[in-house]
Amino acid sequence: MSTILSIQSIHKTFEAGTINENHVLRGLSLDVEEGDFISIIGGNGAGKSTLMNSLAGTLPVDEGDILLEGKSIKQIPAAKRAKEISRVFQDPKMGTASRLSIEENMAIAYRRGQSRGLSWGVKDSERHIFAESLKELGLGLENRLKVDTQFLSGGQRQALTLLMASLVKPKVLLLDEHTAALDPKTSDMVMGLTQKIVESNQLTTLMITHNMENAIAYGNRLVMLHQGQIVVDVQGEEKKNLTVQELMELFHKNSGQALANDELILS
């Protein structure tokens, strides 16, 4: 395994020099190995979303560096990073264009990083690829290619967004609390599809989750943030054998704070 993503002592402060100054990321460092599936948890204000935005390029870091395959991407804008770093958001509506059909949305994802020419319609050869990919979801969407995504349920849209994010294999997949807006049954369905897509495509994945049970059940590595730093980093058998209670105790041991049973789940 080689390091594909290296986060090196990054800092991010909002409203610096004012009474509202908030130093969110405080020298956070993390090396991500190729093929890692990392669950990221932490209380409200721990820096989870700021970290995701920094990796995606929607927020510049103040200090430190972010290396992708050994090369700095710190100065590369979000639009150009999107070719290598895919992201799925909490809101299912953010991953697809509502007034475009399933196949049109997929065509945009399939051509991510390419320059747009005059022929931007969906080709028959692409339509076949899209249909075959959609069959893997088991939701019958391969029979609804012409349907606008606004007519899909939240779970169907999030499943489609997941598929689109991996249609052209990214170097890193970011999952930003991508099941938080779904009901428990739909969330379980999307998490099952997540695991299937990540494993079948061997995707390097970072997943913020609000659910400690999912954090333990999915992925090979678990990272906990507190006040903009990593306070817990477990993997392999140690992670697999964790209980929610043990995870809360780890947080208390490493942060000096007690944690209510539902604090991470609700934050």
Give the pLDDT score at 266.
37
Instruction: Note the pLDDT tens digit of each residue in 110-159.
Output: 887 665 554 557 888 889 999 999 998 999 999 999 999 999 999 999 99
The predicted pLDDT at position 255 comes to: 67
- pLDDT for position 256: 64
- pLDDT the model gives residue 217: 93
pTM passes above 0.85: yes
Res 267: pLDDT: 37
The one-letter amino acid code at 188 reads D
pLDDT value at position 40? 96
Tell me how far apart the alpha carbons of residues 213 and 15 are, in angstroms, rounded to a whole number.
35
User: What pLDDT is stored for residue 115 in this prediction?
Assistant: 58
Name the stretches of the chain with pLDDT < 50: 118, 261-263, 265-267
